Amino acid sequence: MPAQKHPLALTSAERQQLEMVCRSGRRTPREKTRARVLLLTDANRPEGPLTDVQVAQNAGCALPTVAKIRTRAAQRGALKAIAHKDQSRRKARALDGAQEAHLVTLCCSAPPEGRKRWTLKLLRGRLIELEVVESIACETIRRTLKKTS
């Protein structure tokens, strides 16, 4: 069997924390599996490190997963490798909580003179006029009102 590309040697403190993650009831199954993989691939284990195939069987995951977790541990550190990475491409929300509250109160208020009810375009114009937002799409207003009602 070829040597592992990213051998892993955990310190006793890291090992202890990973064991706590495995036993914790507050961690996700994915985090527990990642911690189990790191514990099984540790070069400082008393029994010695297991092969990737053995680790995959014992941890209940696929073979490429073991290699990816070990690579991540070498790059970021063992404890950071089990945590979920923040999504960098996630788009920011168009309206924050205060702006949504302003929209809902505006929608619940009396409609403008000569109108029976608020339309999406009227709401959009009023939000821009009151400087709650610089610009907003009618679809965003519709989606927000559908979510809140």
Q: Are 122 and 130 in contact (CB under 8 A)?
A: no
Chain segment 102-117, per-residue pLDDT in tens = 999 999 999 999 999 9
Q: State the pLDDT at residue 44.
A: 81
SS3 string, 99-141, reads HHHHHHHHHHCCCCCCCCCCCHHHHHHHHHHCCCCCCCCHHHH
Q: Is residue 75 part of a domain?
A: yes
Between the alpha carbon of residue 38 and those of residues 25, 74, 91, the distances in Å are: 19, 11, 32
Q: Are 132 and 102 in contact (CB under 8 A)?
A: yes
Q: State the pLDDT at residue 47.
A: 83
Q: Is residue 28 part of a domain?
A: yes
Q: State the pLDDT at residue 109.
A: 94
Q: Write out the residue range of the structural domain in which residue 115 sits.
A: 97-148
Q: Which residues of the chain have pLDDT under 50?
A: 1
Domain count, the chain: 2
Rounded to two decimals, the pTM is: 0.61
